Amino acid sequence: MKTIWVFLFALLCYQAESAGFNGLGQTPQMGWNNFNHFPVGIHEQIIRETADAIITTGLSKLGYVYVNIDDRWANLDRDSQGNLVANSTTFPSGIKALADYVHSKGLKIGIYSDAGNQTCAKTQPGSLGYEEQDANIFASWGIDYLKYDNCHNEGVDTKQRYTKMSKALNKTGRSIFYSLCEWGQEDPATWGPKIANSWRTTGDIHDDWHRMTSTADKNDKWASYAGPGGWNDPDMLEVGNGKMSTEEYRSHFSIWALMKAPLLLGCDIRSMSPETVEIITNEEVIQVNQDSLGVQGKKVSKKGKLEVWAGPLSNKRYTFILWNRSPESASITAKWKDIGPSDDSVFKARDLWNHSDLQDTFQGSLTSTVDSHACKMYILTPSSS
């Protein structure tokens, strides 16, 4: 009898652990952040207009709900009580008014601070030594999300700095999604799940094919640490920022979705091309990212620059991507033995970018031709279901 109770207790602890530390982020976060498109020059009008555009474009209905402000929103000096103050020129209405506006649209608002003395842009103070005070003011403004950066940290122990803010956020009593931005320097995947909802595994992404592909590879290494409540973060999306081709952006979005990465848009939502809209609104790909099983897909085979990335989904399904990173069109084969199911399993396949079911059923493998820098993405469903 005692053994059963011990077992049940252990199971409960395991479930509490696997659900994450504060119950948020059961699926990867979705929304927008200004930094990739507006690394400088951010002001409250852009935030308001972006919130409006997230509604009018229908993006919020697809799950893009966080509107996140990055570095450069605050004054360099705290007020006489030591509180952070919004920059009076660029955010004249203050963050509380902005949060009210974003909330009035049914969206959530995120903010940025730094686990050091100053933020990376050196334009505003960091939260080191002010963790509780800053968490309290964020909560009082109605903040729903904190991105917490790593500049000017004075060499203070990393886990200690990030844990302090985690506790401070929890203590406010407000549900605040906690996103570590420690750039993967001290393997945050190994300690992030206990204190945060996501953790950057890499340095900054750039709007560049090579930087995007190498960022994906770095994040891949940590796949087994992701799960409901806490996700690996290979940085925000560059789709729509103009320096990659449509097929490269399609690859970027597909791989991020399969890796269960945060889908944080980084383009100007107010003026998107039809190609950008087509990519970021692909519901079938978004559903892979938001699948309830919450298992990060990974690179399962590689022949030169021809790769297969795959992972399991709920209801005994699998998803996989044939990714051609070479300069020429090529045929790529996904083999069940690499993806997971037994060789003799028979599956129906759906092409998530063509939005069509393939006519045949498939046993053991699936082969297709893929253009240079493009990808094809599929879901396999057991043919008996």
Q: ∠320-21-9 over CA atoms, to 5°?
A: 100
Answer for the pair 208, 249: CB distance below 8 angstroms, yes or no. no
- Least distance CB 74 / ligand GAL (angstroms): 12
Catalytic pick from 134, 149, 220, 235? 149
Q: Please identify which residue in 35, 225, 309, 318 interacts with ligand GAL, judged by CB under 6 A.
A: 35
User: Is 149 labeled as catalytic in the residue annotation?
Assistant: yes
Distance, CA of 47 to CA of 92 (rounded, Å): 13
C-beta closer to ligand GAL: residue 119 or 345: 119
C-beta closer to ligand GAL: residue 120 or 321: 120
C-beta closer to ligand GAL: residue 35 or 318: 35
Number of residues that bind ligand GAL (CB under 6 A): 10
Distance, CA of 216 to CA of 218 (rounded, Å): 6
Site pattern 37..76 for ligand GAL (x: CB under 6 A)? ---------------------------------xx-----
Site pattern 141..170 for ligand GAL (x: CB under 6 A)? --------x-x-------------------
Answer for the pair 34, 69: CB distance below 8 angstroms, yes or no. yes
Position 247 contacts ligand GAL (CB under 6 A): no
Distance, CA of 59 to CA of 71 (rounded, Å): 24
C-beta closer to ligand GAL: residue 87 or 119: 119
C-beta closer to ligand GAL: residue 120 or 267: 120
Q: Please identify which residue in 204, 217, 278, 284 interacts with ligand GAL, judged by CB under 6 A.
A: 204
- Least distance CB 68 / ligand GAL (angstroms): 10
Catalytic pick from 52, 187, 204, 217? 204
Question: CB atoms < 10 A from the CB of 121, how many?
Answer: 16
User: Judging by DSSP bridges, how do beta strands 365-370 and 330-335 pair with one another?
Assistant: antiparallel
Position 351 contacts ligand GAL (CB under 6 A): no
Answer for the pair 301, 359: CB distance below 8 angstroms, yes or no. no
Q: What is the DSSP letter of 192?
A: G
Span near ligand GAL by CB under 6 A; candidates 54-62, 119-127, 187-195, 243-251: 119-127
- Least distance CB 149 / ligand GAL (angstroms): 5
C-beta closer to ligand GAL: residue 211 or 325: 211
The owner of tokens 């269960």 is 260
Nearest to 183, CA basis, from 226, 146, 235: 235
Span near ligand GAL by CB under 6 A; candidates 10-18, 116-124, 208-216, 242-250: 116-124
Answer for the pair 265, 64: CB distance below 8 angstroms, yes or no. yes
Task: Report the DSSP beta bridge partners of residue 180.
Answer: 148, 199
Q: Please identify which residue in 53, 97, 121, 295 interacts with ligand GAL, judged by CB under 6 A.
A: 121
Nearest to 370, CA basis, from 314, 330, 319: 330
Q: Please identify which residue in 120, 169, 280, 285 interacts with ligand GAL, judged by CB under 6 A.
A: 120
- Least distance CB 292 / ligand GAL (angstroms): 29
> How does DSSP assign 327-372, residue by residue?
SS-EEEEEEHHHHSS-TT-EEEEEETTTTEEEEEEEESEEEEEE-T
- For residue 199, the one-letter residue type is W
C-beta closer to ligand GAL: residue 30 or 62: 30
Cα distances (angstroms) measured from residue 339 to each of 150, 224, 298, 343, 381 = 36, 15, 9, 10, 13
User: Judging by DSSP bridges, how do beta strands 298-303 and 306-313 pair with one another?
Assistant: antiparallel
Span near ligand GAL by CB under 6 A; candidates 59-67, 118-126, 129-137, 327-335: 118-126
C-beta closer to ligand GAL: residue 182 or 307: 182
Residues that bind ligand GAL (CB under 6 A): 35, 70-71, 119-121, 149, 151, 181, 204
Known catalytic residues? 149, 204
